Structure 1
Amino acid sequence: MSEHTGAIQIDVLHARAVLDLTMRLAEVIFASGAGAEDAVAAMQAVTRAYGLKGIDADITHTLITLTFENPATHDTISRSRNVKFRNLDFTRLSETSQLIAELIETPMDVAVARKRLATIVSSKPLVPVLVRRLGWSLVGAGAALLIGGGVTVVVAAFIATFFVDLITSALAHRKVPVFYQTVVGGAIGPVVAAIVHLIDPAANPSLVVVATIIMLLAGVTVFGAVHDILSGFYITGTARLVEAVLITGGLVTGVAGASAMLARLGLHLRIDLDLAPSLSDLPILLLGAIVIAVGFSLAVQMPWRALWVVCVLGALAEFFYQAGITATLGQVWASAGSAFLIGLIATVAAPLVRTPPFVVVVSALVPLVPGLLLFSSLMQVADGNVDGLMGMLAAAAVAAALAAGAILAQYLVQYVWGPARNLQRRFVGPIMALPLRLTRAARTTVKRT
């Protein structure tokens, strides 16, 4: 009897160790930018690889839960973590995803796996804080190029965006609510625009305003929110959408307030948001998309091995989008078509650079995120113009089209080709934050989970 009890005790200790490891793995990838579906898929795959089958895993907004029912005693062991802060760190996401793939294929000793994960988490950042801040500055400069800014506007956007990130990061470090962070960030745009207008009256100050705040608009948040909603995580996706609206509302408040104060000082800024680059500007548009891709990659610590892929796909995304606009498909269908094609290409390109498809797709589609449309619509609403409501719906449609197009491409390729097929049967959408290996060996590996 004592031997039997001891055997059960060993199984319980093993189960607890596996649950702790699995929960930590899910927390790292979820906090680094992965969607709820990917984190849940990782938890189920890892636990099943270690022999635990009575698993219930779920994510509700920021709460990760994992429960195991012991088949011998019917006792349950539960783990939960509250991920309050999420920072895009694609190097940490990629390395942790690689570790998860190794554990699914050949489960190693739990203690060894924990040490591997601890090494990943405690590793030095890929680039220093200053370089990441310069990356966000490049995003602002690239945005200025995309919306037709000249040299003065591009330089002003680069400098202003640097200070936007510097100030908002300092506020975040002091635990200031994100709404007030974005209010301050949004106020910097008009101030810099006024300075540029005094230096170069020929420059369009509206371009400076928009370019300096596009980096703060919740583009990636909207993409992730739509991804979660389309994948069946409605509460998580809806909460992230509310966060996106809150951030954008803070930007509008900051811009409107700063513009009103400047007007009292005699500096009247005309915020002109009717910006429509033509196909004749394609070289500049492609350059702007590449600059944004490079800047975003630095800001989110993209693995160096994937940088060239993101630059190529970022330019292709802008090219496909402009081709769709030229073909009079409209913003929604042009965005969906571009995202679908990028999703197909990313499925082949991501394994070449040992990076999850999610990392490549999101980074490549950043230039197409409807930040300008969403911001201009909210500005119209703030001025009492009801047309802004239609613009907000259009922005939501574009964001949904980007996510839906990329997800559809991933789903079709993964379903037809074979990787993660068994995992997909438990979920609505494809697995995007775990590495894909388009080989027969990978297909066999996943079946074991």
Structure 2
Amino acid sequence: MIPLVPQPRPNNAARNVLRRLVQSETPPTAPMNIVQRLAGSPYANPMIQVGKVEESSRKSIDFALLLAETMFRYGAGAMEVETSIIAVTAAFGLRGIEVDITNQSVIINYARRDGIPITVLRVVRSWTNNYAGLVQVHELVSEIVSGGVAVPEAHQRLYVIIKRPKPFPRWMVSVAEAVFVAAVVGVIGGSVFGMLVALLAILLVSQVARVLGKWLVPDFFITAVSSFIVTAVAVLCFMFHVPLSPSLVVAGGILLMLPSGRLVSAVQDAINGFPVTAAGRFLSAFLTFGAIVGGIAVALVTSALFGAERLNVAEPIAGSQPLILVLPLVAVATVAICIAEQTAARLLLPTMAVALVGYLSYYVSLEVGLGDRFAPALAAVIVGVLARVVALHFRSPQLVVAVPSIIFLLVGLSIFRAMFVLTLTPEDSGVGALGLFNALVVILAVAAGVVLGDNIARPFARRNGVKDKRRNRRR
């Protein structure tokens, strides 16, 4: 008889180990859940509201669209808008949401269970400076995510935010812009008289720009006229032998018009995965540069017709004031630009502190020999970290603190000089092209530094570690 050999028992534990070695738990081709975009943001782990979700779905989507339009109008970046939409819709219990954001439009698609999908579109046609409103919207989203605001109340509170007047009147904004330009002229080495001339020129520019805005003149021509006025004032002072540096007056005046924040936001959008929005902002920024160069060129040509000597407004800044004098000017200018951007009053001093630390790190980096490219990047990383910490403490978006704090890295001024040389001095086109490349490298380094600092600070700046670790729960 043939002896019977017992069959070996399957080793389930070994089989499970082998399966984990050859196959991951999450296949690499599986789609990412859209709620995972909230990881690391202030809106992570939203509290989901239940009850009559399908009946109020259209109202929830309409609120999300109005929220996105308001945030874009007030100056938010694409990443901030997308995370806010996802957080709000997730808190209202909507599943199957898809969001598509471009430079001036937002599309939301909602695939209901066993129903016809809903696709809605909102186009943003106007922009305004209102960082205080952006902070209030951020607070509203935070309260919705925590589960304390229902859809009808959210609509009502958002309409109140939209209709609420800005914190600072127009005359104060005009004065703040003039003070900012005067302080910048002092920082880059101008005299007291040069600061006064720049202040008066910007006051004149703001009044002319307001009149042109009432006439619905496009921003391109308003920027060109503004740069023309600043250059004309500097040229007149030079013709009458006024003791000041015309190039410094022009540089300080156009720094207010330069789209430095828009360039940084464009690079941030590209890094965060919004190439269409980034391309639109880049195009808008370079059109602004073209308007500035055109206005300055017309002023210089006009002055040459009257016998004035040709000025080199793109000459590099040779020197500056001592650090003990520069720091107060940086503080005053930061507060002034915050007022011009309509920042909330409670954020003025924290933003000034972040700007001072950023400028000190930039100054020390240059002194130790890190170079003109690495020093702004290192300062931007520090600003990004501090801006995230301050923003979470005061319940505001990070860019509200970061954008005014990086103005003194002068990323826009370098690209203006390169475009001016490339456009108006064809014999130096090689120098202009090289300068443009270096300026773009610095802008990329600054924007990447702000984003890197933001991501570095997120794990260490959570408002409540226990809440961040909890699972989504329903109430």
Q: Could you say which residue in structure 1 is the equivalent of 2:414?
A: 373
| CA RMSD of superposed structures (Å) | 2.1
2:454 is aligned, of 396, 410, 415, to 410
Q: Please state which structure has a larger fraction of its residues in helix.
A: 1
* Distance change (3 Å), C-alpha of 1:196 and 1:283: farther
1:53 aligns with 2:95: yes
Distance 1:185 1:37, change over 3 A: same
Residue 425 of structure 1 corresponds to none
* 1:16-31 correspondence to structure 2 within 5 Å: 16-31=58-73
How far apart, in 2, do the equivalents of 1:201 and 1:114 lie? 57
Residue 428 (structure 1) aligns with = none
**CA distance in 1: counterparts of 2:379 and 2:225, whole angstroms:** 34
> 2:167 is matched with which residue: 108, 112, 126?
126
Shift of 1:94: 0.2
Match of 2:197 among 139, 153, 156: 156
Deviation at 1:318, TM superposition (A): 1.4
Q: Using the alignment, how far apart are the partners of 1:152 and 1:116 within structure 2?
A: 48
Deviates most, 135-144 or 301-310: 135-144
For residues 326-354 of structure 1, what are the alpha-carbon distances to aligned partners after superposition, in whole Å with 9 as ceiling and x for unaligned?
22222221111001011112222223333
Aligned-partner SS, 2:406:
helix
Change (3 A) 1:13 1:176: farther
Of 134-143 and 18-27, deviating more is 134-143
Structure 1 counterpart of 2:68, one-letter code: A
- Residue 105 of structure 2 is aligned to residue 63 of structure 1: yes
Decide which of 328, 339, 345 is 2:380's aligned counterpart: 339
Residue from 399, 420, 441 that aligns with 1:397: 441
User: Which whole-Å deviations, capped at 9, do the CAs of 1:124-143 have from their partners, x for residues lacking one?
Assistant: 21010111111211221122
State the alpha-carbon separation in 1 of the partners of residues 333 and 233 from structure 2: 20
Structure 1 residue 244: Cα displacement? 0.5
Q: How does 1:50-449 map to 2 (within 5 A)?
A: 50-73=92-115, 75-198=116-239, 200-276=241-317, 278=319, 281-382=322-423, 383-384=425-426, 385-386=428-429, 387-414=431-458, 416-417=459-460, 437-444=462-469
Tell me by how many angstroms 1:117 deviates.
Answer: 0.8
Letter in 2 for 1:378: M
* Residues 280 and 129 of structure 1: CA distance in aligned 2, closer, same or farther (over 3 Å): closer
Flag structure 1 segments of 5+ consecutive residues without an equivalent. 1-9, 418-435
Once the two structures are overlaid, the 10-residue window that deviates more, 276-285 or 224-233, is 276-285
Once the two structures are TM-superposed, the CA of residue 280 in structure 1 deviates from its matched residue by: 6.6
Structure 1 stretch displaced more, 175-184 or 291-300: 175-184
AA at the equivalent of 2:82 = V
What's the CA shift for 1:380? Answer: 0.6
How many angstroms apart in 2 are the aligned matches of 1:286 and 1:360?
18
Runs (4+) off by over 6 Å: none
Aligned length: 421
C-alpha distance in 2, partners of 1:292/1:393?
28
TM-score of the aligned structures, taking structure 1 as reference length: 0.89
Q: 1:56 aligns to what SS in structure 2?
A: strand
> Among the aligned pairs, what percent are the same residue?
26
Deviations 1:284-327 (A, max 9, x none): 33233222211111111111111101111112211111211222
Counterpart of 2:272 in structure 1: which amino acid?
S
Q: Deviations over 1:268-290 (max 9, x none)?
A: 24225334455872223323322
SS in 2 for 1:244: helix
Letter in 1 for 2:451: I
Contact 2:138–2:395 at 8 Å: present in 1 too?
A: no
Question: Which blocks of at least 5 consecutive residues in structure 2 are unaligned?
Answer: 1-51
The TM-score with structure 2 as length reference comes to: 0.84
Q: Which has the larger radius of gyration?
A: 2
